[in-house]
């Protein structure tokens, strides 16, 4: 296993892409970076070329890409359900265009994994939104499959691992996999990350090493904290990854806090002792 970081963890604006990579190389001494795009800057051919040039300049290895979407809100569980991913039909076409643009950049980088929060999956397959989510996920998978890219559905925690596992089977696309985030499982649904990972182990192609405290109030996220300061159980989680045969990079993600550089460096030291 190797250690990497998400580009957005540095809390540097997306438009300063080269400064993000320079900071990662010079202040974190890492060269594995999951890069992303948030829908605020159009990923046209010129923008993709600019970013790829910076990636090559700073000798960055990219194991996967990701997209988020303008208009998403994680303020509460309710707003996340309504606004994240492809759940709302009103956002589908705009967001499909954005993820297709990122797929083109993923191809240009010769990378074969793109991750995203696809949106809330209802627990019941009889819910009308379940069929919508199944169909739009098939559409995204088919677009990515034409480009030899797997879709890593991010564990959001608002649905159980079993719901996600069954949904993936129902979608029926061989390139639909899982990007596992233990903090989301804990802070959104109060799920045990180790038990949830066990359910999804055959599908996991990427992970985020992020820490959190459990949710304390229904509908409100538990706090995201620096790696090693929460309750995901970093040592147990890494041991479980080894047990299931996961060999990919451990990608540190830090969403907030006043000292992301320090938090990421300390998190990387924890992981170096465990791998």
Residue 38 pLDDT > 90, yes or no? no
- Residue 113 φ/ψ, nearest 5 degrees: -140, 125
Q: Which CATH number fits domain 3-274: 3.30.10.20, 1.10.3720.10, 2.60.120.620, 3.20.20.150?
A: 3.20.20.150
Least Cα distance to 209 among 237, 239, 178 occurs for: 237
105 neighbors 43 (Cβ within 8 angstroms)? yes
The 3-state DSSP class for residue 180 equals: strand
Beta-bridge mates of residue 178: 153, 204
Domain ranges of the chain: 3-274
Q: Does the pLDDT at position 275 exceed 90? A: yes
What's the rounded Cα separation, in Å, for the pair 53 and 110?
14
Span 199-248, pLDDT tens digits = 999 999 999 999 999 988 888 899 999 999 999 999 999 999 999 999 99
Helix axis angle, 128-145 to 161-171, nearest 10°? 60
**Closest by CA position to 118, among listed 144, 127, 106:** 144
- Encoding tokens for residue 202? 């055959």
Per-residue pLDDT tens over the stretch 124-133: 999 999 999 9
d(CA 255, CA 11) in angstroms, rounded, equals: 8
| Cα distance between residue 275 and residue 273, in whole Å | 6
Model pTM?
Answer: 0.97
Taking 90 as the threshold, does the pLDDT of residue 13 lie above it?
Answer: yes
Share of the chain above pLDDT 70, in %: 100
pLDDT at 41 over 90: no
**Rounded to whole angstroms, how far apart are CA atoms 253 and 5?**
6
The string of pLDDT tens digits covering residues 136-155 is 999 999 999 999 999 999 99
- Under the banding of pLDDT at 50, 70 and 90, the label for residue 40 is confident
Q: What is the model's pLDDT at position 39?
A: 80
CA distance 44 to 214: 40
Tokens of 223: 């706090």
User: Distance (Å, rounded) from C-alpha 164 to C-alpha 161?
Assistant: 5
Tell me: pLDDT of 86 over 90.
Answer: yes
């Amino acid at each position: 296993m190797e250690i990497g970081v998400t580009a957005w963890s540095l809390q540097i604006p997306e438009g300063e892409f080269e400064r993000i990579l320079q900071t990662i190389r010079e202040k974190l001494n890492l060269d594995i970076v999951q890069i992303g795009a948030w829908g605020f800057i159009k990923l046209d051919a010129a923008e993709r070329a600019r970013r790829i040039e910076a990636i090559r300049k700073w000798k960055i290895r990219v194991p996967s890409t990701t997209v988020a979407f303008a208009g998403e809100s994680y303020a509460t569980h309710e707003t996340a359900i309504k606004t994240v991913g492809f759940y709302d039909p009103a956002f589908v076409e705009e967001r499909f265009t954005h993820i297709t643009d990122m797929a083109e950049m993923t191809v240009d980088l010769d990378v074969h994994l793109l991750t995203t929060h696809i949106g809330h999956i209802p627990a019941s397959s009889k819910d009308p939104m379940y069929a919508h989510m199944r169909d739009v996920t098939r559409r995204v998978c088919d677009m990515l499959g034409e480009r030899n890219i797997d879709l890593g559905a991010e564990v959001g925690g608002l649905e159980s691992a079993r719901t996600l596992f069954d949904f993936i089977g129902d979608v029926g696309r061989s390139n639909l996999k899982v990007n596992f985030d233990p903090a989301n499982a804990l802070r959104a649904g109060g799920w045990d990350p180790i038990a949830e990972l066990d359910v999804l182990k055959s599908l996991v192609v990427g992970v985020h090493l992020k820490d959190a405290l459990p949710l304390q109030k229904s509908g409100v996220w538990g706090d995201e904290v620096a790696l090693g300061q929460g309750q995901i159980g970093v040592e147990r989680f890494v041991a479980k990854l080894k047990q299931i045969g996961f060999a990919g990079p451990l990608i540190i993600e830090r969403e907030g806090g006043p000292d992301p550089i320090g938090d990421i460096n300390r998190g990387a030291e924890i992981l170096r002792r465990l791998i």
